[in-house]
């Protein structure tokens, strides 16, 4: 198996994505995570751009990384500067890394219209910049910006740029599809030509996703001979993003047979993907191939029936190989097989009559507006209720909420909850919050936490409201989905009503009940 070296640019190119901003602490945490994954290179950022980027390199040197080399990024010297005076080149040296990535122009139009110099001057700029870094002992990666577009417009000149960098000592020549407009067949043919021409130098690839082809183009380049692959975790990047290493890596390993990471490391990709989303405060892409929450989720009854008999019927790879898991989604589209699969997973029963009862109840509730795909905890409680094994952890007497707005603009929200605990004690408490749901949550917790201390471990991490029948206007039914977590797991609950407070109460109660029954089990 041939080795492919992986180069991550999440901390530089990934930060150029809209809505993404990593603090210094975020970048250091991600760097440690990527080192644990076993990537060869981690690009730390554009050293000359701002003080935070330079500080990262100082702090990253203290991390004691075991697998990865931190890479400084910069541009070739300016046309009107000498290399020894150039801000970007000297900022890269100041990073004190072992590796530097230098971006140079490979498209003649960019040379004349953006840099404002002659084509020959650009060749000299590229060569001198590479020589300067090599003279200071750095492993030097040359990113030929806009290479594929440049080659299509002027192949002779694009190859001259690579030759200038190679002759100056560049260790890797990276072909960049910077605009993301190339297709796989073009990338394959052009990369093959470059690999034949520069057979003694490592050729790499850097693709963008503007045509949704970044992964396909990356794989095509490898098939053509590239042995250095650049990308980002979750495909984060400028405009439509970069090649997604969470997809590229398993494709290279499992589909193409290349040596990229150990199978043990690949198993951590799902965790790494979700960690980076969490650090960046970004919503996960649930249908992302391989690592997405829906990547191995089965909903149709026929699909579930087949998968229960043979996993290969509707799965191209075992989810365990990538650290993901198989899920069966409960909905009105489900058949008995889906419910049986869930019962089997929970080690409850294989009773087909019970499965039919559960399915009928699910279909009835979903017709009313409930949805159980993202509410696994509510489904679990529903099963217990139908089986007759459900024992409520408390009995509600009443609740009410008050929202006051004063002339000053100040708002006060209170919720009162009266309930009976299993020991017969009646609790009647008031909670305050930023809104009625927050206040209800506070009151419910306050009334129970002395009897059930583990309630303090519950954290509500998401709250969604969806109008079920919009044509009814303000009298429409609404569905509330709440995501909760404790120290060991995450779960979802659902409520549905014409009253948003009641729908929220249902979901809150299910969240608490699930936690308590989970702990008791």
Residues 302 and 433 in one domain: no
> Which pLDDT value is given to residue 278?
84
> Which pLDDT value is given to residue 350?
63
Residues 84 and 226 in one domain: yes
Q: Which residue has the higher pLDDT, 338 or 511?
A: 511
Asked whether residue 390 is assigned to any structural domain, the reply reads no
**Tokens 């979700």 sit at which residue?**
274
Q: Per the structure block, which two tokens stand in for 520?
A: 């008791």
The CATH number for 402's domain is 3.30.160.270
Nearest CA among 49, 44, 38, 57 for reference residue 13: 44
Q: How confident is the model at residue 13 (pLDDT cuts 50, 70, 90)?
A: very high
- The domain containing residue 256 runs over which residues? 5-279
Residue 305 has pLDDT above 80, yes or no: no
**Tokens 């060749």 sit at which residue?**
123
Per-residue pLDDT of 188-226, as tens digits, reads 999 999 999 999 999 999 999 999 999 999 999 999 999
**Tokens 């799965």 sit at which residue?**
315
User: Would you say 237 and 270 are in contact if contact means Cβ atoms under 8 Å apart?
Assistant: no
Residues 442 and 302 in one domain: no
User: Would you say 237 and 209 are in contact if contact means Cβ atoms under 8 Å apart?
Assistant: yes
- The strand ranges marked E within 406-513 are 411-420, 426-433, 459-467, 478-485, 490-497
Asked whether residue 199 is assigned to any structural domain, the reply reads yes
> Which pLDDT value is given to residue 373?
76
Per-residue pLDDT of 266-290, as tens digits, reads 999 999 999 999 888 888 898 999 9
Number of folded domains in the chain? 3
Q: What is the dihedral of CA 509, 511, 514, 516, to 10 degrees?
A: -80
Kindly report each contact of residues 87-95 with a partner whose C-beta sits within 8 Å and lies 24 or more positions away, as own/partner.
Answer: 87/48, 88/47, 88/48, 89/129, 89/132, 89/133, 91/47, 91/48, 91/54, 92/47, 92/48, 92/133, 92/138, 93/133, 93/136, 93/138, 94/47, 94/54, 95/44, 95/47, 95/54, 95/57, 95/70
Ramachandran region, residue 200 (left: φ > 0; alpha: ψ -120 to 50; beta: rest): alpha
Question: CA separation (Å) from 134 to 6, 89, 289, 445, 481?
Answer: 22, 11, 39, 63, 57
Question: In this predicted structure, which of 46-55, 181-190, 422-431 has the lowest mean pLDDT?
Answer: 46-55
From CA 264, how far away is CA 322, in angstroms rounded?
9
Residue 79: strand, helix, or coil: coil
Nearest CA among 426, 455, 447 for reference residue 520: 455
Residues 459 and 363 in one domain: no
Question: CA separation (Å) from 83 to 45, 123, 128, 130?
Answer: 20, 14, 7, 10
Residues 238 and 330 in one domain: no
Residues 80 and 228 in one domain: yes
Question: In this predicted structure, which of 63-77, 83-97, 355-369, 500-514 has the lowest mean pLDDT?
Answer: 355-369
Reported pTM: 0.76
Nearest CA among 50, 48, 105 for reference residue 72: 48
**Mean pLDDT to the nearest integer, 25-34:** 96
Mean model confidence pLDDT for the chain: 92
Percent of the chain with pLDDT strictly greater than 70: 96
User: Would you say 10 and 233 are in contact if contact means Cβ atoms under 8 Å apart?
Assistant: yes
Domain end point (choices 230, 250, 279): 279
Asked whether residue 375 is assigned to any structural domain, the reply reads no
Residues 306 and 438 in one domain: no
> Which pLDDT value is given to residue 323?
95
* Distance linking the first and last C-alpha atoms of the chain: 47
Residue 520 has pLDDT above 90, yes or no: no
> Which pLDDT value is given to residue 337?
62
Q: How confident is the model at residue 1 (pLDDT cuts 50, 70, 90)?
A: confident
**Tokens 């009995």 sit at which residue?**
395
> Which pLDDT value is given to residue 342?
66
Asked whether residue 98 is assigned to any structural domain, the reply reads yes
Residues 38 and 140 in one domain: yes
Asked whether residue 110 is assigned to any structural domain, the reply reads yes
Asked whether residue 308 is assigned to any structural domain, the reply reads yes
Question: CA separation (Å) from 435 to 59, 193, 325, 359, 413?
Answer: 42, 63, 36, 36, 6
**Tokens 């067949």 sit at which residue?**
185
Q: Is the dihedral of CA 103, 109, 115, 120 positive or negative?
A: positive
Domain end point (choices 368, 385, 411): 368
Per-residue pLDDT of 325-352, as tens digits, reads 888 777 655 555 666 666 666 556 566 7
Report the interhelical angle of 87-94 vs 119-135 (nearest 10°): 20
Residue 155 has pLDDT above 90, yes or no: yes
Residues 247 and 221 in one domain: yes
Pairing type for strands 139-145 and 172-177 reads parallel
Domain end point (choices 330, 349, 368): 368
Question: In this predicted structure, which of 76-90, 176-190, 207-221, 306-320 has the lowest mean pLDDT?
Answer: 306-320
Name every residue whose Cβ is closer than 8 Å to that of residue 463 and which is 6 or more positions away in sequence: 437, 480, 481, 482, 483, 504
Residue 238 has pLDDT above 90, yes or no: yes
> Which pLDDT value is given to residue 125?
97
Per-residue pLDDT of 428-448, as tens digits, reads 999 999 999 999 999 999 999
Q: How confident is the model at residue 300 (pLDDT cuts 50, 70, 90)?
A: confident
The CATH number for 95's domain is 3.20.20.70
Residues 263 and 402 in one domain: no
> Which pLDDT value is given to residue 309?
81
Residues 459 and 342 in one domain: no
Q: Which residues of 476-499 are buried (b: 16+ CB within 10 A; e: fewer)?
A: ebbbbbbbbbbeeeebbbbbbbee
Residues 274 and 309 in one domain: no
């Amino acid at each position: 198996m041939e080795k492919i070296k992986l180069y991550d640019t999440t901390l530089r190119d990934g930060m150029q994505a809209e809505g993404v901003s990593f603090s210094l602490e975020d970048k250091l945490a991600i760097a440690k995570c990527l080192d644990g994954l076993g990537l060869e290179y981690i690009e730390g950022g554009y050293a000359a751009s701002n003080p935070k980027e330079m500080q990262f390199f100082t702090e990253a040197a203290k991390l004691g990384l075991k697998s990865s080399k931190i890479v400084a990024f910069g541009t070739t010297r300016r046309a009107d500067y000498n290399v020894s005076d150039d801000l970007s080149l000297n900022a890269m040296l100041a990073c004190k890394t072992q590796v530097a990535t230098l971006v140079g122009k490979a498209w003649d139009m960019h040379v004349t219209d953006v840099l404002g110099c002659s084509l020959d001057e650009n060749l000299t700029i590229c060569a001198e910049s590479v020589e300067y870094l090599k003279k200071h002992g750095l492993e030097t990666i040359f990113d030929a910006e806009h290479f594929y577009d440049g080659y299509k417009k002027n192949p002779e000149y694009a190859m001259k740029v690579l030759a200038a960098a190679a002759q100056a000592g560049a260790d890797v020549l990276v072909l960049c599809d910077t605009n993301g407009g190339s297709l796989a067949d073009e990338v394959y043919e052009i990369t093959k030509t470059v690999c034949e021409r520069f057979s003694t130098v490592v050729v790499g690839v850097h693709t963008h996703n503007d045509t949704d082809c970044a992964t396909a183009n990356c794989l095509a380049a490898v098939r053509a001979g590239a042995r250095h692959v650049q990308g980002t975790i979750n495909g984060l990047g400028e405009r439509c993003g970069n090649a997604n290493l969470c997809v590229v890596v398993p494709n290279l390993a499992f589909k193409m047979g290349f040596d990229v990471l150990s199978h043990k490391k690949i198993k951590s990709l799902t965790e790494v993907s979700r960690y980076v989303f969490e650090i960046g405060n970004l919503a996960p892409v649930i249908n992302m191939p391989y690592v997405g929450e829906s990547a191995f989720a089965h909903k149709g009854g026929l699909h579930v029936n087949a998968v229960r008999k043979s996993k290969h019927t509707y799965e191209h790879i075992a989810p365990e190989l990538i650290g993901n898991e198989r899920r069966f989604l409960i909905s009105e589209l489900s058949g008995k097989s889906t419910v049986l699969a869930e019962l089997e997973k929970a080690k409850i029963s294989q009773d087909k009559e019970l499965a039919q009862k559960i399915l009928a109840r699910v279909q009835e509730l979903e017709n009313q507006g409930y949805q159980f795909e993202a509410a696994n905890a509510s489904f679990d409680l529903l099963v217990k209720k139908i089986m007759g094994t459900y024992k409520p952890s408390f009995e509600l007497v009443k609740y009410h909420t008050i929202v006051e707005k004063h002339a000053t603009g100040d708002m006060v929200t209170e919720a009162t909850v009266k309930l009976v605990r299993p020991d017969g004690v009646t609790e009647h408490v008031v909670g305050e919050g930023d809104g009625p749901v927050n206040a209800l949550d506070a009151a419910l917790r306050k009334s129970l936490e002395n009897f059930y201390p583990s309630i303090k471990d519950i954290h509500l991490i998401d709250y969604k409201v969806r109008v079920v029948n919009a044509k009814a206007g303000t009298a429409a039914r609404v569905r509330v989905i709440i995501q909760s977590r404790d120290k060991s797991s995450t779960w979802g609950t659902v409520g549905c009503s014409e009253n948003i407070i009641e729908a929220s109460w249902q979901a809150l109660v299910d969240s608490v009940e699930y936690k308590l029954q989970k702990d008791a089990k």
